[in-house]
Amino acid sequence: MTVSLTTPLAKLLTNRRRISALKGLGVVTCADALTYYPFRVTDPVPLRAVREGRIGEPMAFAGVVRDVRVMPMNARRGYRLQAMVDDSAFAAERRVAGTVTALVFFSYKQQYVNWLSARLHTGASVVVCGTPSEYDGMPQFTHPEVLTVPASPSATQEPGHGQRFDADSIDDALRRVCRPRPVYHANSRISSEHIHDSIVTVLRALAAGDDDNVEPSAAQSGKAAQSTQSGSRGTTSTAATSPEPAELQESAPSPSRASCLSPAPDGIETSPKIPTAALRRAIPDILPESVREACGLMHRAEAFLAIHEPDSVDSFRQALHTLRYEEAFISQTAVLQEREQARKAETFPCTDGGMRETFIDSLPFTLTGGQASVIDDIVQDMGRDYPMQRLLQGEVGSGKTVVALAAMLQAVGSGYQAVLVAPTQVLAEQHAETVGGMVSKAGLAIPVTLITGGMKLAARRKALAVAASGVPGIIIATHAAFSRTFQAPNLALAVIDEQHRFGVEQRETLLQRGEKIPHLLVMTATPIPRTAAMTWFGSLDLSWLTELPGGRKPIRTFVIPEADGPTMANMFRHIRRRIDAGERAYIVCARIDEDESDDQAGQDAELFEEPDDASGSGDGSGGSSSVQPKPPLHAVSEIAARLEALPQFQGVRFATLTGRDDDATKQQVMAGFAAGITPILVATTVIEVGVDVPQASCIVIFDADRFGLSQLHQLRGRVGRGGTDSWAFLVSRAEPGSIAEQRLAVIQGSLDGAEIAQADLELRGAGDVLGDAQSGGKSGLKLLRVVKDAKMIADARARAEQVLAADPGLEHEVQLAGAVLDFTRGNESHLISS
């Protein structure tokens, strides 16, 4: 059978457990395997005689087995195998005295021990790679990597043992164990080494073009088995020649693989065994030849080979650069194509600005320069005969609602309908009240219709009928706007508030219902760095509102260590004084109740997890046993009970608000909070968006060190909206000097959302900041970094523009066209257009 990138791994690998473990990592096909990239590569292992070895530093040497012993372990079940290896010949070449060292293996499976002792029989010639330790005054290697080699170059099988060899010669074996090794994100079901072995198998199968000889059995000829498996490493590298079943081999202990810190060994060439020419035929290039040559990039097949089976650290880095650029080029090509496609659609030109001007004139304040500029851009966009696609990012309280209303009145004044879609019923009702009041004060007789899923059936039917009539007006809706029952035949403008909280398919459904595509204005208060915005929202025109309207005072932010009892007490006394002055306070927790797990809490709160292993190994080898588990997150029910019992809050009424509460409860709670009946609201992050209580002056966020910076900035924006002094208290259990402490220092020292988002992006990655999970797709960018690779992205965009200018349909770039289509189908391009 011919092997291609779409071939399932189940047809290549025989080990069912490994296939299942890889599937758990999302690796199902050959293409999945090749794009499951290592996150780092080790340095080459140095050649050293045993006497030259240093405790705790990896090394490789050649030797001869002098003695093998298998001993039962009396204290616990299982066996201990000890092979004594003499490196005299190898040490003599290095002009060092030889010595004997012990190779030690532990296993509770006698079958595995018998197989291993047969390989390491007395007189066997071996190459060993591992990290020496000291036991009973002599050096030893615990579970090292061992490759068997023939005693003479002409030998293919050891007489009397029937053993197949792992390498043709000592030089070949040393070359293989000394090469740099890719390290993959692994888990308890599959190790980094087994992931690597599987990917190498895929590369060999693609180069061979036939999978019949990918995993030869022990009955096959030694040379065939040897050539098929050459290049694999570790105890699993001899699996093809082993008489043991695959299940036993998979459970064999993995060798110790420490990071290798010494330069490449002298005289060792590391040319790959996999034929590059054959691999290039199986893996076509995606980048246009002109782009690849101009940028000095590798062929895609060569890049896959160099990143998974690197000759050197430099070749690994070159491959990484090539594949990053490929991702940048594909994503930017998709963005540019989608942008051009959108401009071919037909829309409703909105040219009558009378209502908009009347509204602006009626405002009791003067628009900021940013608001006026953005409104002018929107008016210009809406006057064209193709749909506007604009992203409006604004600081919390920067006046996005005024801009959105001006845009909607441009549509209504031109004889059409406009819809504003909000993520929650509470926010939709607030928008309806605010918009209705502004329209009324401006003296404009236009209908403002509210449609939510929580309305009574009769009221909802009446509202839907108003929308279906096509009468010019403003519609405020929740997710109900995406239902089949919602029809607005003259919809000229769709405004999406807090875009990351809606799915891609929902937005597309709303925009593509009629014969014409409405204009689209996407708004968000979630800070997005400009570099990220240019990458992910490149098909939209971008606008930023950075000025705050007059009267807003800066929010004073303090980080409070939870263990500092006196400071915590002072904070609560301060909040009580503000409550007595007629103000309000939010208390935010990540969990609803104490029975809820931290994982469940993370569904609402964008939690940041600092790596437990500071080394970032992530290779499935475990971490330091000294790492302490994080304490559980505080819950709304727990904190509400604790605060109510404090003497500082004696006589003060509390209310709670969570995502589990129904709409009627939420309305009742918010009404009581706004009225001052319950001046302290203990809530989850459900208050993050759209909750507007001008009297709120204090917010306390428990477990702030576990929240994303952008979310902390959003939550902080809930206070000070009435022009009063305001305070944000970030209660933290972060360790001194930790990344979490550094993150909180960023938000304590800045009120600039873009600056905060930049730091958040660098610390958390694009997916967490931009809310990929809520955007309807999983990020397709595995290597590209939107901050560090900003120049690369800009270069890829410029070159993609040139390619599309010469070949808009990519008719002469079939592979690129297919990659762009796959990218689009996977929702990644809609992340960009969302």
Closest CA to 779 of 822, 816, 820, 826: 826
Domains in the chain: ranges and CATH: 40-190+219-251 (2.40.50.140), 354-383+399-524 (3.40.50.300), 555-750 (3.40.50.300)
Pairing relation of β-strands 59-72 and 389-394? unpaired
Question: Which pLDDT value is given to residue 807?
Answer: 93
- 778 or 717: which carries more pLDDT confidence? 717
- Can you name the residues that pair with 183 across neighbouring β-strands? 40
288-342 residue pLDDT tens: 999 999 999 999 999 999 999 998 899 999 999 999 999 999 989 988 888 888 7
Closest CA to 221 of 276, 274, 164: 164
Confidence band for 265, pLDDT divided at 50, 70 and 90: very low
586-626 residue pLDDT tens: 999 988 887 665 555 544 555 655 544 333 334 444 333 34
Closest CA to 390 of 524, 510, 500: 524
In the predicted structure, residue 755 carries a pLDDT above the cut 60 = yes
Pairing relation of β-strands 541-545 and 138-142? unpaired
Question: Which pLDDT value is given to residue 35?
Answer: 94
Phi/psi region, residue 193 (left: phi>0; alpha: psi -120 to 50; beta: rest), is alpha
In the predicted structure, residue 825 carries a pLDDT above the cut 90 = no
Separation CA 628–CA 73 (nearest Å): 31
pTM score, whole prediction: 0.64
Contact between 668 and 681 under an 8 Å Cβ cutoff? The reply is no
Average pLDDT (48-67) is 94
Please give the share of the chain, as a percent, with pLDDT higher than 90: 48
356-377 residue pLDDT tens: 999 999 998 888 888 999 999 9
Query: What phi and psi, each to the nearest 5 degrees, are found at residue 707?
Result: -95, 155
- Residue 804 class from Cβ within 10 Å (0-12 exposed, 13-18 middle, 19+ buried)? middle
DSSP for 539-592? TSEEEEE-PPPTTPPPEEEEEEETT-HHHHHHHHHHHHHHHHTT-EEEEE-SBS
Average pLDDT (409-434) is 90
Cβ-proximal residues to 301 (8 Å cutoff; 6+ apart), any chain: 276, 279, 280, 282, 283, 285
What is residue 511's DSSP assignment?
A: H
Task: Please tell me the total number of residues recorded for the chain in this structure.
Answer: 834
What is residue 138's DSSP assignment?
A: E
761-796 residue pLDDT tens: 666 555 443 433 333 334 467 888 776 787 898 899
Question: Which pLDDT value is given to residue 722?
Answer: 77
Give the tokens for residue 168. Answer: 């043709």
Question: Which pLDDT value is given to residue 213?
Answer: 43
Residue with tokens 């004084």: 577
Confidence band for 414, pLDDT divided at 50, 70 and 90: very high
Say which range, 91-105, 691-705, 708-722, has the weakest mean pLDDT.
708-722
Question: Which pLDDT value is given to residue 479?
Answer: 84
Task: Report the 10 Å Cβ neighbour count for 461.
Answer: 11
Give the tokens for residue 470. Answer: 């096509």
Q: Which helix (H) or strand (E) holds 132?
A: strand 132-135
Q: Biggest alpha carbon distance in the chain?
A: 102
132-184 residue pLDDT tens: 998 888 889 999 999 999 986 555 555 445 567 888 899 988 988 888 989 99
In the predicted structure, residue 229 carries a pLDDT above the cut 90 = no
Question: Which pLDDT value is given to residue 617?
Answer: 39
Task: Report the 10 Å Cβ neighbour count for 438.
Answer: 18
In the predicted structure, residue 241 carries a pLDDT above the cut 70 = no
Closest CA to 654 of 732, 729, 576: 576
Task: Report the 10 Å Cβ neighbour count for 542.
Answer: 14
List Cα–Cα distances, 808 to 340, 637, 676, in angstroms: 9, 58, 61
Contact between 77 and 347 under an 8 Å Cβ cutoff? The reply is no
Give the tokens for residue 132. Answer: 């020496």
In the predicted structure, residue 235 carries a pLDDT above the cut 50 = no
- 617 or 573: which carries more pLDDT confidence? 573
Separation CA 214–CA 803 (nearest Å): 39
Q: How is the chain split among helix, strand and coil, in percent rounded to 5?
A: 40, 15, 40
Residue with tokens 């291609």: 4
Contact between 560 and 568 under an 8 Å Cβ cutoff? The reply is yes
- Can you name the residues that pair with 681 across neighbouring β-strands? 586, 655
Contact between 638 and 594 under an 8 Å Cβ cutoff? The reply is yes
